[in-house]
């Protein structure tokens, strides 16, 4: 069985007739051609690499059917910022060396944006708790946490802790 849906992704409306069981992650990648949303755990909802925002809230797109997104607005990593105008979290991730292979980064960023919209001045423990649903196999999460805290501080006019490359060596 199929259904015709209209989904707005990063400001562009996509109307497609899709199988009822088509996953949102596959709709985004195959129908919209947006490959920044990754599939890391083979559709089990464990890794968070497929996280997107639906109506401004973070969701694992491998756990949603495309038909559940009918009439909704979705933001993927491609809609978060641009090469010339990075989102403040993308800037912080770059500045704080918060990525290595980058496979998980899009999902972490989409989750972190939602988290920071709800948490004005989070603690390190709160950031770590918020990242529980995002698996990164390359890092120890320290730089990721530092970047999220720095983006939060910058947003509120506070001075963030300098990134590791800018930290002065001990005397």
**Which domains are delineated in the chain?**
2-79 (3.10.20.30), 88-166 (1.10.150.120)
pLDDT of the residue at 167:
52
Instruction: Please provide the DSSP assignment of 120-168 as one string.
Output: SS--HHHHHHHTTT---SS--SHHHHHHHHHHHHHHTT--PPPPGGGSP
Residue 169 has pLDDT above 60, yes or no: no
Compute the average pLDDT of residues 50-78: 98
Share of the chain above pLDDT 70, in %: 91
Calpha distance 48→111 (Å, rounded): 8
pLDDT digits over 103-140, tens only? 999 999 999 999 999 998 999 999 999 999 999 988 88
What's the whole-number mean pLDDT along residues 81-94? 93
Average pLDDT in the 143-171 region? 75
Looking at residue 140, its pLDDT comes to: 82
Say what angle helices 88-95 and 105-118 make with each other, to 10 degrees: 120
Across all residues in the chain, what is the average pLDDT? 92
């Amino acid at each position: 069985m199929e259904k015709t849906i209209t989904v707005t992704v990063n400001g562009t409306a996509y109307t497609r007739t899709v199988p009822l069981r088509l996953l949102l992650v596959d709709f985004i990648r195959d129908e919209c051609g947006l490959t920044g949303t990754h599939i890391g755990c083979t559709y089990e909802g464990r890794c968070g690499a497929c996280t997107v925002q639906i109506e401004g809230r973070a969701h694992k797109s491998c756990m949603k059917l495309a038909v559940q997104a009918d009439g909704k607005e979705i933001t993927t990593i491609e809609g978060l910022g641009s090469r010339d105008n990075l989102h403040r979290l993308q800037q912080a991730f770059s500045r704080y060396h918060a990525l290595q292979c980058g496979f998980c980064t899009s999902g972490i960023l989409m989750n972190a944006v939602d988290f920071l919209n709800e948490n004005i001045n989070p603690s390190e423990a709160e950031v770590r708790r918020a990242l529980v649903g995002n698996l990164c196999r390359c890092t120890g999460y320290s730089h990721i946490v530092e970047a999220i805290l720095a983006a939060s501080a910058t947003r509120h006019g506070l001075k963030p802790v300098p990134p590791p490359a800018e930290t002065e060596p001990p005397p």
